[in-house]
Amino acid sequence: MDEELISVIDIASQHSKGKATVFRILNRLGIEPTKRRSSAGKNQLVSYITQEEFRRVTIELQAITSRDDLEPSESEVGDDFVSAEVGVFYLIQLEPDLDPSRFKVGFAAGMSERLRHLRCSAPFAVVVRTWPCRRLWEKTAIDSVAVGCERLHTEVFRTASFEEIVARCERFFAIMPPVSGSSLNIVEPLMGRTPCKA
C-alpha cells in the first residue's frame, strides 16, 4: 500500500509550488491526506495521498501553473490578449519607518492578495501608490522607475530620493495609454499595516 501513496512534499516539489498551495487544493477537492511517520523526515508526520488523488491534484496544479505562467505566443499578441492581462503597477515601502529608501515595485493582477503574501515576509510593508497597468508594461516600468537605484533583489531597490521614485512612476504612467478593465484592483495609497496571518 505504501508504494501507492505519494507525499504532499513530493507533489509540491514536482510542481514547484508550496505545500500550502497543495493543501488548499486538497481541501477544495475534499481529499483528506493520510498521515504517516517518515524515517526520511526524522520520524515526523508526513501527509500522503493516493495515486488517483494525485492525478486529480495534478490537474488542478497544472491549471494554476497555466494561469500564472501564461505568456503570449506570436499568434496571441493582440488587444484581446493584452486586455485580459490588466492589473496594477504598485510602489511599496517595505520598512517605511526603519528603511524608508527601500522599495518594491511590480505588477499585480490582484493587489490585495499580493500584499497579503508580501506581508508574510515584510509585515510593515505599506502600499504608497498603485497605477492601472498592463502586465506587458511591467519590465519597462521597473527599468524606467528604478534607473540609477541600488538593486537589492529582483523587484526591490534602494534610492537616494523616494519622492523621485514616486515622480518617476507618475511620469511613466502619464504617457502610457489609458487602461480599462473590470479586473483592476486598485489599493488606496498608504494602506494600513496588517500582519500576515499564519
Taking the domains of the chain in order of start, what are their residue ranges?
2-68, 84-175
Class of the CATH domain delimited by 2-68 = mainly alpha
Residues 38 and 33: their CA atoms lie apart, in Å, by 14
CB 25 within 8 Å of CB 57: yes
pLDDT for 9-31, tens place per residue?
Answer: 888 888 778 888 888 888 888 88
pLDDT for 145-172, tens place per residue?
Answer: 999 999 998 899 999 999 999 999 999 9
Q: In what order do the strands lie in the sheet with 86-95?
A: 126-134, 86-95, 99-108, 156-158, 150-151
- pLDDT score recorded for residue 25: 87
Residues 29 and 80: their CA atoms lie apart, in Å, by 32
Stretch 170-183: mean pLDDT: 81
Kindly tell me if the per-residue pLDDT of 94 is higher than 60: yes
Phi, psi (degrees; rounded to nearest 5) at 50: -80, 165
Q: How far is CA 145 from each of CA 100, 152, 165, 178, 191, rounded to the nearest angstrom? A: 16, 15, 6, 19, 21
- pLDDT score recorded for residue 187: 47
Grid cell in block for residue 142: 521597473
pLDDT for 104-149, tens place per residue?
Answer: 999 988 888 888 888 888 899 999 999 999 988 999 999 999 999 9
